[in-house]
Amino acid sequence: MKNAARAAQQFGVSVVNGFTGSSIWHLLYSFPPVPDSMIDSGYKQFRPSGGIRSWTCSVNAASVCARSPSDGDRVRHLLDEAGQSKRSAIREEFGFNFDPSHLLWQGVDPVEFIREFPDRIYHCHIKDAIVTLNGRSGILGSHLNFGDPRRGWDFRSPGRGGVNFEEINPALNQAKYEGPLSVEWKTSAGPRAMARASLRVCAKARLRAEPRGI
């Protein structure tokens, strides 16, 4: 991934989007119990001395928080470690790929995420999901593949799930986000031709970068 950042720099690209990985993903559910020190060690890897995101060139890294808890407290903890508990010292190259679909199924308001971390959103996915808990399904998916109706949540084409893109647009503009709006079409609920409808959803929600000051 460091080579990808070096190549991006040669093309004048300022952001590389990807996954950080985590040594504590498998400890999401605290059983068998583990000491707090083991969880803390996973966050400490994001410190400047921890070996993650230590680029040798000036390219920002937008990290996806898809497979780890994305609630505000945990994200704040992550940023604190990246800055060694000093907000002003957080490395500029560390930020987030804003993906509202994953925030939705975790019960996090995507708009509140933008408001909480406006200066750390380096990339944006236009991606939707739907929560389908019915008293029998579980939110973690129960090892069922995407598209299985027994799941408690699944991806949908933008505009066909639970994400309110019309509220996300002004929040991104207020955050002065000027990066790309990348439509990530991922759904098992229809033919690929539905991907074109995603663009119409973007147009309806006026999802576009607006000039600052408007």
**pLDDT, tens only, 83-136:** 544 444 556 777 888 999 999 998 999 999 999 889 889 889 889 999 999 999
pLDDT computed for residue 67 by the predictor: 39
Domain boundaries, the chain: 1-98, 100-105+124-214
Closest listed residue to residue 111, CA positions, set 26, 158, 173: 173
Cβ(126)–Cβ(165) below 8 Å: yes
Q: HSE on the CB side for 67, CA within 13 Å?
A: 10
What is residue 66's predicted lDDT score, i.e. its pLDDT? 39
Q: What pLDDT is attached to residue 185?
A: 80
| Cβ contacts of 105 within 8 Å, gap of 6 or more | 129, 131, 139, 152, 153
Model confidence pLDDT, tens digit, residues 136-177: 999 987 789 999 999 999 999 888 899 999 899 899 999 999
pTM for the full model? 0.78
pLDDT at residue 190, as a whole number: 64
